[in-house]
Every structure is written in structure tokens, then in C-alpha cells.
């Protein structure tokens, strides 16, 4: 099967304005008479394509524009400029065929009605999407088996645990077999086990049904395990587009060193010529293991590029006694965290 | 329209689901009925007190007013059955962003928003209202017979009007976060609907037949059944209702646009 | 509690003042809505009353109903507005909601009585409205030749009525300890109050044989009583007698709340909150 482009995004920008209210009576009246607006740019020209059947992770700090992008792609809001196409449709026109073939799940907004048993809530979805009864039964069977929730179908949704509820939400979102699925933080608030099960389900569904899935998450486990490609947004701009593995390989390495001496950060900066940000005296990926040999020497972490490793180490050894050293590849989480920090710094 | 079957099927499921829901929360049936009975008793007492001082009020006898109360009660109960709660939730729908999900569904978002909650126990009050009408029909001078069919028509007009008016009061949710102030205003004006409109001085009466047509909910149907309307009034009712539909459609679109331009 | 008695007595007033301020701020945070609410609550019922009198006297051609002329009726309607704004609010609903939702437990941790706390918070905007109504009433009184001091006394009666209304509401709200739908009891109470407080019609137009109905409840002290005194239809002696009756109701209400909440709370705690 040759893959086709299902989502095309060309230089999409989105700014929105919000009324600015001043304090007190005057402000309230002012708001009625001549409102003042503040303008924000949520997306500053984003361009990418997504192939059918792919599983794409969309990441970025809060306010980076992820949800805005999802809303544009699912047709809830129009882009201020630029062009977005999903399955050949212009999303914001929301033609019925478009709505029939997409699905949007927001981890923080329930779409199923809480005071009904899931099976009744699903029945409404069947009617709305005009799913033939036989097909509906088959799909419900497949999905409840995959999710292992068959026994909860007749329980009121509000009585389910958060994890079970989220599973039901997902089933509800998939019953019409959408070709494109937008997931906004589906694992938010779930415990490790529930999140794992949900991920496993998404992986299987993506592989078996060849649905295109776009996922935003703050949980890097979600991204690492599911997505073959990630898009990173920072302040409305796309700063990375590629496989997650490449990001960690290309990025910096972590040089872990233990010294007999206990130099300050300033001294280390002077010796190695690295910036304060690249030197981590206290925390670190493996901070918990630092005293495994019983000594109370603390590990120091240097975030360095591959070609800087040798020179930095040399400079350190010329000044201090190195007791122990090692190289660690950075986790995705760490890399991303540093990307976010760059934005602030 | 092929789409029609989708709406009909969805509506069936919504009704079924509301049965399921009410089966779960059985307890409020008696409560609701009791509250409405007391409300009715208060209205009856009020008019009984007033009529203890006079035989006729603006051309209405006591029994005609009681007949009106029956019409109004049934019309209002129909609105309560199908729409009341949906309108209460309207502001949440907009301000808590639940509308987002509805917009991605392949049916009109308002259809889903306004058919979500039914209050099936309020059906009892429809029956009660009709019972009151039947009880006072002879003394009120209502001919009955085939004319009871007209009642069905007028009740539909009453409910349709209530929906249009209530919608016009709810739509402001797009512009103000605390649109319950508008909902309260609706219920304050609604008090005008609880009396026959003939009682009102010309100015108020005119408003109740045009800008805030609360008279359409109970007064106009009762008058139509008891005395018949002037031809001019039929035209007026049609025009006012069309105007409301245009107004509501316009502001729904404007509101949606605002909703979409304000969110990020 | 020994520790508590060591505190200076004024400290016990600190939280009350704070609750009052907080309640006032809360109610007026959205000023336009607050204004709308007060106006809406005042104008529409008055308009409906006036409409009835208009129909009775102007359209129906009556000269007098139960000894009252059209002017008397309109006067009654206008002045009753001032007091129906002061009449008890809906904070008894808040109590029943606290019980139903289980949030009552949060209040039990605080060193203040929840019934009193909710009252003070809720009454704050009413006090504000009452003082405005008092000023309006006194000015109107000067204009139309009523004694402004009568207006003052009448407002006191209306405020006492506000307390009694809440006491009854709080006692009824305690049914929430046994029954999920307690709010409906409060709704029924409010409907009865709207008829028997005199905010819809002056109570003296009730047929003679039914007058006992409103006389046997305290509801007439909310609106009807104050209007009668303000307009000079009650003598001073009658007013003081009625205030005596009002204080009896106050004591009865206090006992009622003590007992009903004592029982309810015992049940609430035994069920584990």
C-alpha cells in the first residue's frame, strides 16, 4: 500500500484576540462601549504533511500552540491565514463527510454523558453516525475486547474509574471508524498501568486499521512508544519535525563525572568553558544512583555535544582528580525539557 | 432528505436514554409533581382571592381564567419536558467548551444540545393541565368537540414560541460568561405569561404580543380557544415568530463566529 | 473549651465581619448582573401587581376592593417593592446543596457554625439593598407625607422577617439529611411565601373567612406588615404588638434550627459525613 498525504498544512497562522477589561465600574462600562482587545499569536506559520496511517506526536510546552493546531485540523476554528487540508477537505467548512471521517478526543473534556451507562451513550453515537447495527455490534465487540471493558458496558460512566472512563471515551470516538483521529492529552491523569493499556490499544488500532493518529501529550512515554514522527512546537513555531530517535541521537550527550574536589558551578564554567546551563551539579537523570558505591562524592553532569566530550574531559582532568566517569544518552524527556528551557532562557 | 433518518434515529435514542436516566433517578417524580401542584394551588388561590371581590376581570370570568391556567400549565409542561434543562445547560456548553465536541459531530450542534435532557416526569403535568381545561371548559364557555384538536395546534404554537424566546435569552452566553443573569431575566418576564394578556394595559399587552411575546405561550392559545382571534392577530403571530427565528439564526451564527475567533 | 474563652470577646466578631464583607463582594463581583438582578426582581412583580389593579379598577370599573381604592393599591404595590427586596434570599438552598453534595464536611472543620456562616454571607447584599431601600423610602415618605420614622421601623420589621425566613428555610433544609430532594421543600415554601407574605397582593383582600390563613404564619411580617406600618395603616401600638409576635417567631425559629440541625448533624456524622 502506498501512503497518501491525508493532512496538508501550509504556512498556517492563527492569532486571536481577547477583550481587555479594566478594573471596576469604568472597566465594565468601557467593555460595553468601546472594548479594547489584546492580540496573541498562537501559531506563527506552520507547514507540514502527514501521510495516511502514520502516528504523529505533537509536543510543546503549555501555550505552544498544540491545541490550537488540533482545533484547526478538526475544523473547530479557522486559521487566520494559510491553508490546511484534511482528507482533501477544508476542515473549517466542516462538510458532513469530513465530520463523518474524523474524531477528536480531548482528555479534559468528556463527550460521553456521565449519567448513562456506556452502552446507551454509544447507542447515540451509532445513531448520529448512522452506523449499521451489525457493523456497530462488530466494532463494539472488537473495541471492548481490545480495551478489556466488556464487563463495564452497563455501568453508569460516572461510576467508572478515570482509566475506564477514558477507555470508554476512546471507544466512543472510534465507533465510526474515523480515518483521522486527533487525541489531545488522552493519558492525562491516568495511572501508569491505565496509561500503558491505553497506549497499547492505540498502537494496535493504528497498526490494524491504518488510521492516521495525531496525538498531543506531555507524557514522553506516550510519544516514545507510539509515534514514529514528532512535531515540536515552541511559541507557535515548529522547531522540529522528524523521528523521536533522531532527536535524542542528534542532541547532546550527558557526561557524568565524579571528582575528589567539590568545585562550584562558576569554577567549572571557567575550567570547561561551558555555560552554566550545561552544568548540572545536583539533579540529573540518575541522581538517585550517585552513591551506589557508598562514597558521598556527588556526580556532576555536563550536557555537551559529541565533539565536545574529549576536550571537556581533558580540561576537567587537568584541574581536578576524576574518580569516575561515564556517558549517558539523554532521554527524550530530558531533551524536550531543555528545548522548552531554551525558549525561556 | 436522506439526513432526516439520522435525526429521527438520534432522537429516538435520546428519548430512550432519558428513560434509562429517569429510571436511575426515580425519586424526583413525586417531588416534581408536588412542587407543580403547589404552584398551581397558589395561582388558583390568587385568582380566587381576586374574584372574591369582583365577578369579571377585563372580560374574563373566574372559570375562563382557570381554563387559561390549564392551557398555560400544559404548554409550560411541554416546554419543561423537552427543553427546559437543555436551555439551562446552554451557558455551560459555550463557556466550558463542550460545544467543541458537538461541532465535530455529523449533525447540527444545536440538535444535540437541545435534545439532550428530557424531563419525562413533566408529562404528568401536561396531563394535569389538560385535566384542568376539561374540568373548567363548560363553565368557561369552551365548545369542546372537534375543537379539542385545535388545542393540539395551539399547544405546539405555545411551545414553539417558548423555545424561540428562551433561545433569544440564552444566546448571550457567547458574549457574557454569566448568562444566567439573562436566564433569570427570562423567568422574571415569564411571570407575565402566567396571567391572561387581556388583563394588561395596552402598552404591556402590545409588548407581550411583539418584542417579548410571552403571551404566545398561554394567553393567545387560551384566547384563541375561548373567543377566537382577530385575523390581524394570526398575521401578527406569524410575523413575530418569523422575526424571532431570523434574529436567533443571525445571533447563533454571530455567536459561533465569536466563539471560534476567541478560542486559541 | 477553655482555650476559646481566653480570647477577647471581640475576636468572635472578626469572622462574622469577614463573612459579611466576603458575601458582599461575592454578590457584587459582577456589578451589571447584580444591578440587573435587583431591578428585575423589583420591576416585574410590581408591574404584574399593578396590572391586576389596573384590570380591577380601571377596566373592571370597581371603586373599592376590601376598603382599598386604586390609589391605595398602587401605593401598596410601590412600597411593598422596598420590602420584598429585603425578604429572605435563596441561601437556604445553599444549605441543602451543602448537605446533598457532602461539602458540609468542609465547613465542619471550621470553628464557625455553618448555618450562621451561610446566613451572614447571604445577608450581606440584602443589608446593602435594605439601606438603599430605606433611603428611597424615607425620601418618598417626605414627598408623600408619610412619617420617615415609620419607614425606619418598617425596615427593621422586614429585616427581622428576613431572619425568620432563613430560620424556617434552614430548618426545612435539614430534611436534606434524610432526603436527596430537600430543595423541593424549599421551593414549595417559597411559593407559599410569595402568596402569604403580601408581595403579590395585599393580604387584607383575602375573603374574611380565609384571613386566618395568613395570620397564622409569620410570612406576613416580611412584606405586608412593614407596608401597613410604613403607610400608616397600622398604629404604633399595633406595630409594637406585631414586633412582639415577630420576636416570638424568632425564638421559635431559633429553637427549630437548633433541634433540626442537632438531629440532622448527628445522623450526618454517624453516617461518616
Q: Among partner residues B20, B98, B101, which is closest to A120 by beta-carbon distance?
A: B20
Of A21-30, A257-266, B167-176, the least confident: A21-30
Q: Among partner residues A78, A99, A120, which is closest to B260 by beta-carbon distance?
A: A78
Co-location of A75 and A144 in the same domain = yes
Residue A18's CATH number: 3.40.50.300
Q: Give dist(CA A122, CA A119) in Å, integer.
A: 5
The grid coordinates of residue A94 equal: 466542516
Q: Which pLDDT does position A22 carry in this prediction?
A: 60
Pick out chain C residues at pLDDT < 70.
1-11, 28-33, 111, 272-273
A104/B100 touch (CB, cutoff 8 Å), yes or no = yes
Q: Which pLDDT does position B178 carry in this prediction?
A: 65
Q: Per mean pLDDT, which of A19-28, B139-148, B230-239, C11-20 is the most reliable?
A: B230-239
A16/B264 touch (CB, cutoff 8 Å), yes or no = yes
A255-262: average pLDDT: 84
- What b/e string do you get for A290-303 counting C-beta neighbours within 10 Å, with b at 16 or more? beeeeeeeebbbbb
Query: In sequence order, which residues have a C-beta less than 8 Å from that of residue C25 and are 6 or more positions away?
Result: none
Contacts of B184 in chain C (CB under 8 A): 37, 40
What is each CA distance from A145 to A13, A151, A294, C137, in whole angstroms?
41, 10, 50, 73
CB distance A27 to A217 below 8 Å: no
Q: Give dist(CA B262, CA C18) in Å, integer.
A: 37
Domain contains A322: yes
Domain contains A343: no
Q: What is the mean pLDDT of chain A?
A: 83
Compute the radius of gyration of chain C from its Cα atoms: 20
- Where in chain C are the domains? 2-265
Structural element, H or E, at residue A327: strand A322-329
Q: Which pLDDT does position A4 carry in this prediction?
A: 86
ipTM of the complex: 0.83
The grid coordinates of residue B217 equal: 405561550
Co-location of A151 and A211 in the same domain = yes
Domain contains A341: no
- Strands, sheet with A253-259, edge to edge from the N-terminal-most edge strand: A279-280, A299-304, A253-259, A322-329
Query: In sequence order, which residues have a C-beta less than 8 Å from that of residue C242 and are 6 or more positions away?
Result: C157, C221, C225, C229, C234
Residue A284 has pLDDT above 50, yes or no: no
pLDDT in tens, A310-334: 888 888 888 888 888 887 777 777 7
B58/C201 touch (CB, cutoff 8 Å), yes or no = no
pLDDT in tens, B194-247: 889 888 888 888 999 999 999 999 999 999 999 888 999 999 999 999 999 999
Residue A162 has pLDDT above 60, yes or no: yes
A237 bridge partner residues: A234
Co-location of A264 and A224 in the same domain = no
CB distance B241 to B161 below 8 Å: yes
Co-location of A257 and A240 in the same domain = no
Co-location of A109 and A167 in the same domain = yes
A104/B24 touch (CB, cutoff 8 Å), yes or no = no
Residue A293's CATH number: 3.30.70
Neighbours of C273 (CB within 10 A): 10
Give the CA count within 13 Å in the CB-facing half-sphere of C126: 23
Residue A180 has pLDDT above 70, yes or no: yes
Co-location of A258 and A142 in the same domain = no
Q: How far is CA B87 from the centre of its chain?
A: 11
**Distance in Å, alpha carbon of B4 to nearest chain C alpha carbon:** 39
Q: Give dist(CA C231, CA C79) in Å, integer.
A: 8
**Distance in Å, alpha carbon of C94 to nearest chain B alpha carbon:** 17
Q: Among partner residues A68, A115, A124, which is closest to B264 by beta-carbon distance?
A: A68
Co-location of A228 and A303 in the same domain = no
Co-location of A242 and A303 in the same domain = no
Q: Which of A216, A246, A276 is the last residue of a domain?
A: A246
C206 reaches B (C-beta below 8 A): yes
Domain contains A336: no
CB distance A326 to A250 below 8 Å: no
Co-location of A58 and A193 in the same domain = yes
What percent of chain A has pLDDT above 90? 36
Q: Which pLDDT does position C113 carry in this prediction?
A: 82
- Where in chain B are the domains? 2-258
Co-location of A21 and A141 in the same domain = yes
Nearest to A180 by CA among A109, A86, A91, A97: A86
What domain count does chain A have? Answer: 2
B-contacting residues in C 228-267 (Cβ below 8 Å)? none
Predicted model pTM: 0.78
A61-84: average pLDDT: 90
Q: How far is CA C226 from the centre of its chain?
A: 12
The range of the structural domain enclosing residue A316 comes to 252-329
Query: In sequence order, which residues have a C-beta less than 8 Å from that of residue A260 and are 6 or more positions away?
Result: A297, A320, A321, A323
Q: Among partner residues A76, A111, A128, which is closest to B260 by beta-carbon distance?
A: A76
A215-236: average pLDDT: 88
* Residues from A in contact with C at Cβ < 8 Å: 25, 28
Amino acid at each position: 500500500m502506498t501512503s497518501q498525504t491525508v493532512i496538508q498544512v501550509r504556512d498556517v497562522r492563527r492569532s486571536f484576540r481577547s477583550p481587555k477589561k479594566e478594573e471596576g465600574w469604568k472597566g465594565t462600562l468601557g467593555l460595553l462601549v468601546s472594548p479594547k482587545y489584546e492580540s496573541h499569536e498562537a501559531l506563527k506559520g506552520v507547514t507540514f504533511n502527514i501521510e495516511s496511517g502514520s502516528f504523529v506526536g505533537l509536543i510543546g510546552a503549555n501555550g505552544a500552540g498544540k491545541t490550537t493546531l488540533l482545533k484547526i485540523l478538526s475544523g473547530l476554528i479557522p486559521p487566520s491565514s494559510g491553508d490546511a487540508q484534511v482528507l482533501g477537505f477544508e476542515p473549517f467548512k466542516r462538510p458532513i463527510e469530513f465530520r463523518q471521517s474524523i474524531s477528536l478526543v480531548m482528555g479534559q473534556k468528556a463527550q460521553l454523558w456521565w449519567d448513562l451507562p456506556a452502552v446507551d451513550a454509544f447507542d447515540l453515537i451509532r445513531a448520529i453516525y448512522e452506523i449499521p447495527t451489525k457493523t456497530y455490534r462488530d466494532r463494539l465487540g472488537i473495541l471492548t475486547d481490545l480495551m478489556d471493558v466488556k464487563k463495564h458496558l452497563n455501568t453508569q460512566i460516572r461510576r467508572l474509574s478515570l482509566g475506564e472512563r477514558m477507555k470508554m471515551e476512546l471507544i466512543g470516538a472510534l465507533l465510526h471508524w474515523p480515518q483521522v483521529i486527533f487525541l489531545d492529552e488522552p493519558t492525562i491523569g491516568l495511572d501508569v498501568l491505565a496509561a500503558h493499556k491505553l497506549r497499547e490499544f492505540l498502537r494496535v488500532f493504528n497498526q490494524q486499521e491504518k488510521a492516521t493518529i495525531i496525538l498531543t501529550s506531555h507524557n514522553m512515554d506516550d510519544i516514545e512508544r507510539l509515534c514514529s514522527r514528532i512535531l515540536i512546537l515552541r511559541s507557535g513555531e515548529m522547531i522540529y519535525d522528524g523521528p523521536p530517535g533522531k532527536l535524542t541521537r542528534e542532541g547532546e550527550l550527558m557526561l557524568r563525572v565524579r571528582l575528589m574536589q567539590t568545585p562550584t558551578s562558576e569554577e567549572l564554567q571557567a575550567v570547561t568553558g561551558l555555560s552554566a546551563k550545561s552544568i548540572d551539579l545536583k539533579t540529573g537523570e540518575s541522581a538517585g544512583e550517585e552513591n551506589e558505591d557508598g562514597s558521598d562524592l556527588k556526580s556532576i553532569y555536563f550536557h555537551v555535544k559529541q565533539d565536545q566530550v574529549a576536550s571537556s574531559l581533558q580540561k576537567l582532568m587537568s584541574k581536578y582528580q576524576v574518580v569516575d566517569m561515564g556517558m549517558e544518552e539523554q532521554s527524550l524527556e530530558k531533551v524536550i525539557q531543555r528545548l522548552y528551557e531554551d525558549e525561556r532562557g | 432528505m436522506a439526513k432526516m433518518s439520522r435525526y429521527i434515529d438520534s432522537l429516538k435514542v435520546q428519548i430512550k436514554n432519558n428513560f434509562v436516566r429517569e429510571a436511575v433517578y426515580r425519586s424526583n417524580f413525586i417531588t416534581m409533581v408536588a412542587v407543580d401542584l403547589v404552584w398551581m394551588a397558589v395561582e388558583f388561590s390568587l385568582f380566587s382571592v381576586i374574584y372574591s371581590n369582583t365577578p369579571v376581570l377585563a372580560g374574563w370570568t373566574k372559570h375562563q381564567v382557570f381554563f387559561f391556567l390549564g392551557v398555560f400549565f400544559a404548554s409550560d409542561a411541554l416546554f419543561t419536558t423537552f427543553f427546559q434543562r437543555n436551555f439551562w445547560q446552554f451557558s455551560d456548553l459555550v463557556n466550558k467548551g463542550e460545544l467543541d465536541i458537538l461541532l465535530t459531530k455529523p449533525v447540527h450542534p444545536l440538535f444535540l444540545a437541545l435534545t439532550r435532557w428530557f424531563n419525562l416526569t413533566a408529562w404528568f403535568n401536561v396531563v394535569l393541565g389538560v385535566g384542568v381545561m376539561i374540568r373548567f371548559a363548560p363553565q368557561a364557555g369552551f365548545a369542546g368537540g372537534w375543537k379539542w384538536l385545535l388545542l393540539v395546534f395551539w399547544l405546539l404554537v405555545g411551545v414553539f414560541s417558548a423555545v424561540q424566546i428562551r433561545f433569544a435569552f440564552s444566546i448571550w452566553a457567547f458574549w457574557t460568561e454569566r448568562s444566567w443573569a439573562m436566564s433569570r431575566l427570562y423567568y422574571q418576564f415569564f411571570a407575565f405569561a402566567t396571567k391572561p394578556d387581556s388583563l394588561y394595559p395596552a402598552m404591556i399587552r402590545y409588548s407581550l404580543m411583539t418584542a417579548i411575546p410571552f403571551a404566545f405561550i398561554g394567553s393567545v392559545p387560551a384566547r384563541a380557544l375561548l373567543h377566537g382571534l382577530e385575523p390581524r392577530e394570526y398575521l401578527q403571530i406569524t410575523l413575530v415568530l418569523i422575526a424571532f427565528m431570523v434574529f436567533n439564526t443571525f445571533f447563533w451564527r454571530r455567536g459561533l463566529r465569536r466563539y471560534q475567533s476567541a478560542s486559541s | 473549651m477553655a482555650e476559646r474563652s481566653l480570647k477577647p470577646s471581640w475576636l468572635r466578631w472578626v469572622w462574622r465581619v469577614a463573612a459579611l464583607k466576603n458575601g458582599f463582594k461575592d454578590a457584587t463581583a459582577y456589578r451589571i448582573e447584580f444591578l440587573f438582578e435587583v431591578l428585575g426582581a423589583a420591576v416585574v412583580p410590581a408591574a404584574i401587581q399593578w396590572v391586576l389593579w389596573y384590570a380591577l379598577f380601571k377596566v373592571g370599573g370597581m371603586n373599592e376592593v376590601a376598603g382599598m381604592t386604586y390609589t391605595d393599591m398602587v401605593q401598596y404595590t410601590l412600597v411593598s417593592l422596598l420590602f420584598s427586596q429585603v425578604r429572605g434570599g435563596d441561601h437556604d438552598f445553599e444549605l441543602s446543596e451543602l448537605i446533598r453534595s457532602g461539602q458540609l464536611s468542609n465547613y465542619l472543620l471550621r470553628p464557625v457554625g455553618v448555618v450562621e456562616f451561610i446566613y451572614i454571607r447571604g445577608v450581606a447584599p440584602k443589608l446593602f439593598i435594605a439601606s438603599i431601600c430605606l433611603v428611597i423610602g424615607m425620601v418618598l415618605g417626605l414627598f408623600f407625607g408619610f412619617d420617615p420614622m415609620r419607614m425606619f421601623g418598617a425596615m427593621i420589621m422586614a429585616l427581622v422577617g428576613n431572619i425568620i425566613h432563613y430560620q424556617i428555610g434552614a430548618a426545612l433544609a435539614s430534611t436534606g439529611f434524610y432526603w436527596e430532594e430537600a430543595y423541593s421543600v424549599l421551593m414549595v415554601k417559597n411559593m407559599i411565601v410569595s402568596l402569604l407574605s403580601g408581595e403579590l397582593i395585599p393580604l387584607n383582600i383575602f375573603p374574611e373567612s380565609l384571613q386566618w390563613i395568613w395570620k397564622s404564619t409569620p410570612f406576613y411580617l416580611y412584606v405586608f406588615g412593614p407596608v401597613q406600618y410604613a403607610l400608616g395603616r397600622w398604629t404604633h401600638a399595633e406595630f409594637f404588638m406585631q414586633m412582639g409576635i415577630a420576636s416570638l417567631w424568632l425564638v421559635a425559629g431559633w429553637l427549630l434550627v437548633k433541634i433540626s440541625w442537632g438531629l440532622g448533624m448527628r445522623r450526618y456524622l454517624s453516617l461518616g459525613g
